[in-house]
Amino acid sequence: MKNLFTSLASRRFIIPAVILGLLAVLAFMLTQQTQAPEVTFTTIEGKTIEMAELKGKVVLVNFWATDCPGCIAEMPGLIKTYNEYKPKGFEVIAVAMEYDPPSQVLTYTQKNALPFPVMHDSYGEISRKFGTVQLTPTAFILDKQGNILRKVIGELNFTDLRQLLDEKLAPTSGSQS
């Protein structure tokens, strides 16, 4: 009988301890942010941009293609948002997918006067480093430290994006994220 009582009493403490431990691990995992991969973007003009150069800015890395209706539909909103928020520390890097003919990317970029850096991911290297992007449009929004804040598959919601940019680019007296 004493053994049964000891076993029941220890279970009463072990189960809550295990539950608390699991909750602590879950809380830790939810607070950890994923760092964006260290990549070098080479624009269609031949300029290189290192991920480290983008620290201190909120960055949107946008994977797109010239034959993607959603990508084309969101471009005017992306241009408008970029022009509005660039002076506050916002940057956009448009990454055209490897299957997109480079000549089409160049033509589209020039015809639409895209104001942000555009690169062609000729070998799919950038896509792989961001987790093998397969669907377009796909956007990664990075904070000023280069952590991935959000991954958006499909067209951007510009109301949500502006709200996030207002929050992350707001001047603060403490540390900024």
25 domain residue, yes or no? yes
175 domain residue, yes or no? no
What span, in angstroms and rounded, lies between the C-alpha atoms of 153 and 139? Answer: 7
41 and 24, same structural domain?
Answer: no
82 and 144, same structural domain?
Answer: yes
88 and 3, same structural domain?
Answer: no
Tally of domains within the chain = 2
What pTM was estimated for this model as a whole?
Answer: 0.79
131 domain residue, yes or no? yes
List the structure tokens of 26: 């879950």
144 and 83, same structural domain?
Answer: yes
25 and 88, same structural domain?
Answer: no
46 and 27, same structural domain?
Answer: no
81 and 136, same structural domain?
Answer: yes
119 and 84, same structural domain?
Answer: yes
79 and 5, same structural domain?
Answer: no
DSSP letters, 44-97, are TTS-EEEGGGGTTSEEEEEEE-TT-HHHHHHHHHHHHHHHHHGGGTEEEEEEE-
154 domain residue, yes or no? yes
pLDDT at 2: 55
CATH number at residue 114: 3.40.30.10
What span, in angstroms and rounded, lies between the C-alpha atoms of 162 and 34? Answer: 22
In whole angstroms, how far apart are CA 12 and each of 4, 46, 89, 93? 12, 65, 54, 55
65 domain residue, yes or no? yes
Which parts of the chain sit beneath pLDDT 70? 1-33, 173-177
46 domain residue, yes or no? yes
142 and 77, same structural domain?
Answer: yes
Residue 50: which domain range?
A: 35-168
176 domain residue, yes or no? no
The tens digit of pLDDT for each residue in 45-64 reads: 999 999 999 999 999 999 99
The tens digit of pLDDT for each residue in 150-177 reads: 999 999 999 999 999 999 999 874 444 4
173 domain residue, yes or no? no
12 and 96, same structural domain?
Answer: no
List the structure tokens of 25: 């691990």
28 and 104, same structural domain?
Answer: no
